[in-house]
Amino acid sequence: MTIAARGPKRGVTGRVLPGKRPGRTLAEIATVLVAAAIAFPLYWMVLTAFKPAGQIQSTDPRPWTLSPTLENFRQVFTVDNFGRYFLNSVLVAGVVVLVSLVLSFLAAVALTRFRFRGRTVLLVMILVAQMVPVEALTIPLFFLMRSVGSVAPWFGLNHLGSLVLVHLAFSLPFAIWMLRGFVAAVPAELEEAATLDGAGRFRFTWQVLFPLVAPGLVAMSVLSFIHAWNDFLFAKTFIISATENQTLPLAILVFFKPTGNDWGAIMAGSTLMTIPVLVFFVFVQRHLVSGIAGAVKA
């Protein structure tokens, strides 16, 4: 893990800096304890997902189980249309990531490497767009999607396309802002060299620039993925009657019941919902950290 690849801070002499030693063991114990506390809710979620019902609905919850079961997962998939919701979520988040990858890259290139009138204004507008509380737009967007539906049903209410459009637009300002730093960091000499070699602007953009800003693209795609994957508000507002087009966050709420919550199913569903993001994170954590650091510095 690169974020942690460095040893203790050493002085020029290679000696560990004075004043660091005595408290360090204490700090390390504290760090491990804090890490355990932070990870605990996740542990509890997964553990509960594998517990048999009797142990979950117990007033004496134990932090382990000797009889793990898949019953909760079976419950999730049989009672509710969970598989379908899962696919819907994957579809929405996947399309959002792929399309915003291309769109934000193009926009970032235009805003960093081209000089044209109104560029500064556009940059400021993108900065402002990041501050717009998109949730406040739910009401006009609801009506917009309703009218879009009569022209292009796939992008209207009750269809996944409406969610794609919304999340795409909302992830763009931050994605563009983030990529700007990466695109700007590519030296101009490289562009000149590419031009001398006969590469046009288009080829330079895709064959030289695109791979070079990959870390930024990765970090950006994780953030747009999470955005779309987590969305609860827009899915709840847009997908009203076509339940088969619901996404995961709403599916889990089915197991909250006035007669008593089915915690086993809720935790199994939550676990299933968390896994894709965790996998994504583990694969890209290195780029994510450097990407955010890069974007923040830019």
CA–CA gap between residue 166 and residue 151 (Å, rounded): 17
Comparison of 115 and 198: residue with beta carbon closer to other proteins: 115
* Residue 196 binding other proteins, by CB under 8 A: no
The binder of other proteins chosen from 90, 169, 199, 208 (CB under 8 A): 169
* Residue 91 binding other proteins, by CB under 8 A: no
* Residue 277 binding other proteins, by CB under 8 A: yes
Map the footprint of other proteins across residues 18-37, applying CB under 8 A. Answer: 18-20, 24, 27-28, 30-32, 34-36
The binder of other proteins chosen from 67, 78, 117, 151 (CB under 8 A): 117
Our measurement of the distance from residue 120's CA atom to the centroid of its chain's CA atoms, rounded to an integer in Å, reads: 29
- Minimum Å distance from CB 52 to other proteins? 14
* Residue 253 binding other proteins, by CB under 8 A: yes
Nearest to 216 by CA among 105, 100, 93: 105
The binder of other proteins chosen from 76, 88, 280, 287 (CB under 8 A): 280
* Residue 129 binding other proteins, by CB under 8 A: yes
Which distant-in-sequence residues (6+ apart) come within 8 Å of 126 by Cβ?
111, 173, 176, 177
CA–CA gap between residue 193 and residue 208 (Å, rounded): 11
Part in contact with other proteins (CB under 8 A); list of ranges 1-9, 67-75, 78-86, 209-217: 1-9
- Minimum Å distance from CB 159 to other proteins? 15
What single-letter amino acid sits at 26? Answer: L
Part in contact with other proteins (CB under 8 A); list of ranges 69-77, 78-86, 131-139, 210-218: 131-139
Comparison of 167 and 245: residue with beta carbon closer to other proteins: 167
* Residue 132 binding other proteins, by CB under 8 A: yes
- Minimum Å distance from CB 7 to other proteins? 7
The binder of other proteins chosen from 154, 195, 214, 244 (CB under 8 A): 195
* Residue 243 binding other proteins, by CB under 8 A: no
* Residue 17 binding other proteins, by CB under 8 A: yes
- Minimum Å distance from CB 110 to other proteins? 4
* Residue 185 binding other proteins, by CB under 8 A: no
Binding mask 37-76 for other proteins (x = CB under 8 A): -xx-xx-xx--x-------xxxxxx-x-------------
* Residue 210 binding other proteins, by CB under 8 A: no
